[in-house]
A = this chain, B = another copy of it.
Amino acid sequence: MDKVSLQNPVFATYVIAATIMILKAVSMSWLTVFRMMQVKGGFRSPEDLRKTPLNPAPDPKQLEPNEQVERIRRIQLNDLENLPFFLVAGFLFVLTEPTQMMARLLLYGYVASRLLHFAAYFTARSHDTRATFWTIGSLILLYMTCQTLVTALQ
């Protein structure tokens, strides 16, 4: 059977995990937009102070950093530091033909760790809570990557 196919249950597991993570990443952009509209600020480009239908009453303060918006940007930057590498590492990992149970444990475990990391960051839980969820995800990513490298070197 073709390994890179939705008919392969292990590959389908990867596709489900990958698409959920992509939706999560893209949601951060929309959440940034939503927050910027809510606080009417947190903009970054000089031209964003022009009067337009979406910004009828421009004010220079709109270009100042706004913590409500910056928090989402920090969460998004954390996604950029992690998710693109997970998306490729997970794909290569399923090519090493792990068992379905192992694939589910690692791939869905990663998804869960990132959703919990988001929840902890979004609600400003303590650094230790956020760091714990990040660490779980990062260790899963490292494990899948090392496993794949070892298999490829054989």
Interface residues, chain A, CB within 8 Å of chain B?
2-6, 12, 15-16, 18-20, 22-23, 25-26, 28-30, 33, 43-48, 50, 52-55, 67, 71, 74, 76, 80-85, 87-89, 91-92, 95-96, 121, 124-128, 131, 138, 141-142, 145-146, 148-149, 151-153
Contact = CB atoms under 8 A, between A and B. Distances in A.
Contact of A3 (B4, B15, B88, B124): B4
Contacts of A55: 127-128
B16 A145 contact: no
17 contacts: A3-B5, A4-B4, A15-B92, A16-B152, A18-B88, A20-B149, A22-B88, A22-B145, A25-B85, A26-B82, A28-B81, A29-B138, A30-B138, A45-B71, A52-B127, A83-B85, A84-B87
A109 B66 CA distance: 33
A131 B54 contact: yes
Contacts of A50: 126-127
Name A's interface SS: helix
Contacts of A67: 46
A45 B142 contact: no
A29 to B, nearest CB: 6
Q: Which of A46, A85, A96, A126 has the most CB of B within 10 A?
A: A85
B127 A23 contact: no
A40 to B, nearest CB: 12
Contacts of A82: 26, 29
Contacts of A149: 15-16, 19-20, 23
